């Protein structure tokens, strides 16, 4: 028996029209509600501040989120001020993780550009900045890096701005400090990337030409997870320099690699017996996490780990930022990442420049930014920019790892100040 | 803020085109010839280095090799961009030469790789090729003359750098898609040819293929040469897109991405590879934290979306493979002329004779 053929169900034209009507009416109702919600003549204007801040990867997995949250805090504070003033302008934040790589930074900026973003806080490292420089300049997207300090991207007339100064003053300050403390033979272990290479070059040149010192160096692959061989070579270099009272080690590292170096160094007799210095990138909370890496902390205490950071020691904006950060993120401390101060300032510079430009346009924002920065004193100090769009100066605070007298916890204790204007070093 | 299609479409088009070429090359080697070339990124990087080195040095020479500007630093890159913008014919010519040279050098290295492939099979070959890719990356990272070492080579201008900025990426995306489509057609014709069936015979039973008098080592070498040449082209296209070369970009995940596209799309099926490349490109986009902002959705969850992105991608791939282990488009019989004729003859018969069995799988 043949089965009865089932007729396909037909949609009634009336039903179709009714559904269409409901959709149109729902849309119209939604639109009307949105209009009612906005005050008359005060249509909400929303500008996006993009973030290209690494929150994963060995270099930034601890530090990155602290810096990102500082930028978010700035956006929230600005919105609160705008709301209190009755302004229709609001800023929104969206962050693309760059993972601290050149490839990741390019992908993040391309996506942010696709989302219509014209001003971005980030990326963090010099390698990432170099990778996105051409893209942002060609497409007129403003990038404000809160922590790139390498000399390579210091080029005029591009769309890259950097909140900290380049490594040149820091290398000067560190070489001066090393010499003042009586060390003239230095073994460097540095990241083999443009930041590590650049900083090591600047320091070595300064030590040898100005202070007639002797410098030996080891560069290591940034993605290596085992640095035992490189640390053994460093030990051999200290041996050849003579592990005496005038020999020191300089470590130019980030987070994961720095921890690995110290963990290997504590096993080497020569390295345990000399003073250690670090670049500003080694002043990280992960290094002083006594419950996670007690042996690293002990080594840094024993070797009086010392370095500089480009930040004013006392500043009311700094204090206000620290209090606001702790209030917004209970139990968290921005001091654990000194560059969080810079990402906070970078976000403020981005938003103030948009307001100063009067329109959300990369070219206008880039034009307004230097003027805004010139008048801006933030949590990390005065942000006047040079012709390359980098912070023109900073005084450098010297720090060393000691146990806090009251809490007995390991801490980066400020003990000196290097003044940019006079190139003089003062000890507290 | 509405999505800026002038950025988004070229981004998607270029990424998809490059992924497609890379996945097609892996499909020829693995899907058809049974050679798991997990060192795909090595050949991809060769294309990148060739294009980067040729273009940067040629533009530097055109600029008169300025002694006061460092070649490797960003300032050197800016000089090369200026030269490219002022000399459209030069940069287009360098682009064409780079593609040709990348294919040739990639193929040459593919031929060299066939030597270990003669002695190693399956997992062992895959492991050796992964190691080759990693070793080459570390070498190039520490040896400046090839690709600038840790500094990389900045200033590899887009071949259309002389066009208005907003047009450059769109034109380049179209060009990449045209090249990808051309290589897609090439791959289909290659694998439907007698040589393609020979590749499958090698994959299914190398011993039997040898017994029938086929020169299996030579066939393997040819497959690896073709696949590696295609990967070289993909690498060159990538470098001209991102406009710089960093050895650190050529990490093993690139190889695994190509593998995932082929496996998700369907092994030994170029349409599947196309679907796989499109699927992965789309998946990469929609799991990005910035994606909701394309639709004016500014949601700030209590966790960072960046942390769940990789997890989400992994779960989606696992789900796809659980329910479609053969891939989205499984392998199909080879479309030979004889098969088409047989189908045509079988079709008019109203007595519902079953379609004749295709002449074997290869």
In the prediction, which pLDDT does A1 show?
42
Report residue B163's pLDDT band, with 50, 70 and 90 as the boundaries: very high
Smallest Cα–Cα separation from A324: which of A82, A145, A124, A69? A69
Report residue B308's pLDDT band, with 50, 70 and 90 as the boundaries: confident
**Could you write out the DSSP letters of every residue in A245-264?**
TTEEEEEE--SHHHHHHHHH
Report residue A198's pLDDT band, with 50, 70 and 90 as the boundaries: confident
Of B110-119, B219-228, B277-286, give the lowest mean pLDDT range.
B110-119
> CB distance from B307 to chain A under 8 Å?
yes
In the prediction, which pLDDT does B151 show?
83
**CB half-sphere exposure, B356, CA atoms < 13 A:** 15
Query: Which chain B residues are within 8 Å of A387, Cβ to Cβ?
Result: none
Smallest Cα–Cα separation from B193: which of B343, B334, B28? B334
In terms of pLDDT, which residue wins out, B178 or B290?
B178
Q: Say whether pLDDT at A42 is over 70.
A: no
In terms of pLDDT, which residue wins out, A99 or B91?
B91
**A114 vs chain B: nearest CA distance in angstroms?**
5
Report residue B360's pLDDT band, with 50, 70 and 90 as the boundaries: very low
> CB distance from A55 to chain B under 8 Å?
yes
Q: SS3 letters for A149-208?
A: CCCCCCCCCCCEEECCCCHHHHHHHHHHHHHHCCCCEEEEEEECCHHHHHHHHHHHHHHH
Q: Say whether pLDDT at B179 is over 60.
A: yes
Average pLDDT, whole number, for chain B? 89
How far apart CA B358 and CA B362 sit, in angstroms, is 9
In which order are the strands placed within the sheet that holds A410-419? Answer: A214-220, A185-191, A247-252, A275-278, A306-309, A396-403, A410-419, A424-427
Query: Which chain B residues are within 8 Å of A130, Cβ to Cβ?
Result: 74, 151-152, 154, 244
In the prediction, which pLDDT does A2 show?
45
> CB distance from B138 to chain A under 8 Å?
yes
How far apart CA B35 and CA B200 sit, in angstroms, is 11
In the prediction, which pLDDT does B361 show?
45
Average pLDDT, whole number, for chain A? 89
Q: Say whether pLDDT at A38 is over 60.
A: no
Which of B52, B73, B80, B308 has the most A C-beta neighbours within 10 Å, making it the best mutation to test the interface with A? B73
Which tens digits make up the pLDDT trace of B10-65? 999 999 999 999 999 999 999 999 999 999 999 999 999 999 999 999 999 999 99
Which of A111, A119, A166, A224 has the most B C-beta neighbours within 10 Å, making it the best mutation to test the interface with B? A111
User: Inter-chain contact B248–A102, Cβ cutoff 8 Å?
Assistant: yes
Which tens digits make up the pLDDT trace of B59-102? 999 999 999 898 988 889 999 999 999 999 999 999 999 999 99
Report residue A312's pLDDT band, with 50, 70 and 90 as the boundaries: low
The predicted model gives A239-243 an average pLDDT of 90
Report DSSP state, residue B32.
Answer: I
Q: Say whether pLDDT at A313 is over 70.
A: no
Going by their DSSP bridges, the two strands A185-191 and A142-145 should be labelled as unpaired
Of A150-154, A161-165, A365-369, B262-266, give the lowest mean pLDDT range.
A150-154
Which tens digits make up the pLDDT trace of A344-376? 999 999 999 999 999 999 999 999 999 999 999
């Amino acid at each position: 028996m043949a089965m009865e053929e089932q007729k396909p169900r037909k949609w009634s034209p009336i039903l179709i029209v009714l559904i269409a009507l409901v959709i149109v009416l729902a849309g119209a109702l939604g639109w009307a509600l949105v209009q009612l919600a906005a005050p008359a003549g005060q249509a909400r204007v929303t500008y996006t501040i993009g973030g290209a801040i690494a929150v994963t990867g060995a270099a930034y997995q601890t530090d990155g989120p602290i810096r990102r949250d500082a930028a978010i805090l700035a956006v929230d504070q600005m919105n609160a001020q705008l709301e209190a003033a009755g302004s229709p302008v609001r800023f929104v934040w969206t962050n693309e993780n760059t993972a601290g790589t050149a490839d990741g930074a390019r992908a993040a900026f391309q996506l942010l550009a696709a989302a219509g973003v014209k001003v971005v806080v980030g990326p963090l490292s010099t390698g990432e900045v170099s990778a996105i420089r051409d893209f942002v300049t060609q497409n007129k997207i403003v990038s404000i890096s809160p922590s790139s300090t390498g000399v390579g991207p210091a080029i005029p007339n591009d769309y890259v701005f950097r909140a900290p100064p380049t490594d040149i003053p820091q290398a000067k300050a560190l070489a001066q400090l090393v010499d003042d403390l009586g060390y003239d033979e230095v073994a460097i272990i540095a990241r083999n990337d443009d930041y590590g290479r650049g900083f090591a070059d600047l320091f070595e040149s300064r030590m040898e030409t100005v202070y007639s010192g002797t410098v030996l160096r080891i560069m290591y692959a940034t993605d290596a997870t085992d640095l035992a061989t490189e640390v053994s070579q460093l030990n051999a270099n200290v041996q050849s320099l003579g592990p005496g009272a005038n020999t020191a080690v300089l470590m130019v590292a980030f987070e994961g690699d720095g921890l690995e170096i110290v963990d290997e160094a504590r096993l080497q007799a020569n390295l345990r017996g000399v003073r250690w210095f670090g670049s500003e990138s080694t002043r990280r909370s992960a290094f002083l996490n006594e419950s996670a890496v007690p042996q690293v902390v002990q080594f840094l205490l024993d070797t009086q780990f010392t370095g500089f950071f480009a930040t004013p020691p006392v500043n009311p904006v700094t204090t206000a930022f620290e209090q606001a950060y702790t209030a917004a993120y209970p139990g968290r401390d921005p001091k654990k990442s000194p560059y969080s101060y810079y990402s906070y300032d970078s976000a403020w510079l981005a938003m103030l420049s948009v307001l100063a430009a009067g329109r959300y346009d990369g070219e206008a924002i880039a034009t307004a930014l230097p003027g805004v920065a010139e008048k801006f004193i933030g949590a990390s100090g005065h942000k006047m920019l040079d012709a390359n769009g980098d912070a023109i100066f900073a005084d450098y605070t010297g720090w060393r790892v000691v146990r806090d007298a009251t809490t007995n916890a390991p801490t980066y204790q400020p003990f000196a100040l290097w003044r940019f204007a006079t190139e003089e070093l003062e000890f507290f | 803020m509405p999505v800026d299609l002038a950025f988004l479409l070229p981004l998607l088009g270029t990424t998809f085109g490059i992924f497609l070429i890379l996945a097609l090359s892996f499909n020829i080697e693995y899907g058809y010839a049974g050679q798991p070339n997990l060192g795909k990124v090595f050949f991809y990087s060769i294309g990148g280095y060739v294009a980067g080195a040729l273009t940067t040095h040629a533009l530097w020479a055109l600029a008169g090799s300025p002694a006061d500007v460092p070649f490797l630093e960003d300032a050197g890159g800016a000089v090369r961009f200026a030269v490219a913008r002022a000399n459209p014919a030069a940069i287009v010519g360098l682009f064409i030469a780079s593609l040709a040279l990348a294919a040739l050098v990639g193929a040459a290295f593919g031929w060299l790789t066939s030597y270990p492939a003669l002695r190693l099979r399956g997992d062992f070959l895959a492991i050796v090729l992964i190691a080759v890719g990693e070793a080459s990356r570390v070498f190039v990272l520490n040896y400046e003359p090839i690709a600038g070492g840790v500094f990389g080579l900045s200033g590899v201008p887009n071949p259309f750098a002389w066009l208005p900025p907003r047009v450059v990426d769109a034109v380049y995306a179209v060009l990449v898609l045209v090249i990808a489509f051309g290589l897609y057609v090439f791959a289909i014709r290659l694998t439907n040819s007698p040589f393609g069936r020979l590749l499958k015979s090698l994959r299914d039973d190398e011993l039997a293929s040898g017994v029938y008098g086929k020169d299996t080592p030579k066939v393997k070498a040819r497959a690896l040469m073709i696949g590696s040449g295609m990967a070289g082209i993909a690498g060159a296209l990538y470098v001209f897109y991102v406009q710089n070369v960093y050895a650190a970009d050529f990490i093993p995940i690139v190889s695994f991405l190509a593998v995932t596209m082929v496996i998700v799309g369907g092994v030994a099926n170029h349409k599947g590879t196309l679907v796989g490349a499109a699927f992965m490109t789309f998946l990469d986009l929609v799991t990005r934290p910035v994606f909701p902002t394309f639709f004016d959705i500014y949601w700030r969850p209590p966790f960072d979306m960046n942390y769940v992105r990789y997890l989400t991608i992994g779960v989606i791939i696992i789900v796809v493979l659980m329910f479609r282990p053969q891939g989205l488009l499984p392998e199909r019989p080879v479309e030979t002329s004889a098969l088409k004729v047989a189908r045509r003859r079988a079709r008019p018969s109203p007595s519902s004779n079953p379609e004749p069995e295709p002449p074997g799988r290869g």
